Structure 1
Amino acid sequence: MTSMLNNFWRDAVRPLIKRPPALQVAALCHREGDAGTEVMLVSSSSGRWILPKGWPIDGLTACEAAKQEAWEEGGVKKAAANNASAQSFLGQKRFDNGSVIPCEVKVFSFKVKKLSDNYPESERRDRIWATPARAAELVDDPGLKALIGNFAA
């Protein structure tokens, strides 16, 4: 009987009450550098390398919100979006208090045309450019590693 109840809980009840992952949007900003394609990474509050990302913004499409994050966190002043190239990966949002929640991160590709050194989060974030292979080595999240690693292919 216990086995039957456990199976019922696992197969029927748990899927009904399990929360779906939260949604975040991210910007995969790229440019052509001397050595070929380069990807922009920004530092997180904990010092990890990430893409500029954040929560959806009321009144903006997901792509527009990702572009806003690229400005606020990385100083991307002008960029051309490629809406057709939107991809997603399952990752985690780590909060400063140590808690973690699952997130679906929808990533939009932006070809950077103009950068600014003076942007809203310039005092608390570092920005680097790296080849996609190097950027994939620098990020922690397995889903983000795969997405960046496949970017240049």
Structure 2
Amino acid sequence: QQVEQKQSEIERVCQLLDMAHYEGSPLSKYIRRPEVEWPQIVARLPELASLDHEVSQQVLYDLKYAGYVARQNTDVDRQKRLAAKRIPTGFDYKGLSQLRAEAREKFERIQPLNLSQASRISGITPADIALLMVHFDGQTKSNK
């Protein structure tokens, strides 16, 4: 119950920071600047002065690192999508003439099971993975 109360308080404070503005932007955006600390926020929104230290620190971390967390979540989602794209066992990479020779050789030698594994092979570029995705997506559509 305490965890729920704390989370609820964090959400309430984040909403307040979204609604309050400073220099034409919401305080929630202003707080992301590296030089901005909690006392500067309290100076602009005095009702936050009595806020529990744990809550204020969590709000500060959540807002400062929101961009990083979003990027990590995007990467996780991408890896999940790539893991779902299976590569047929014994697939002949030589048939993909657009694939770089280095990538073709590594794929032939390692035989990744899915695109997620393929993307983690040293020396494999996003372009190599994109080429495989296009190839397998095209095969899937033509098989339907």
Question: Is TM > 0.5 for Structure 1 vs Structure 2?
Answer: no
User: Higher RCO, 1 or 2 (CA under 8 Å, sep at least 6)?
Assistant: 1
- TM-score bracket for this pair, using the shorter chain length: under 0.3
Q: Which has the higher strand share?
A: 1
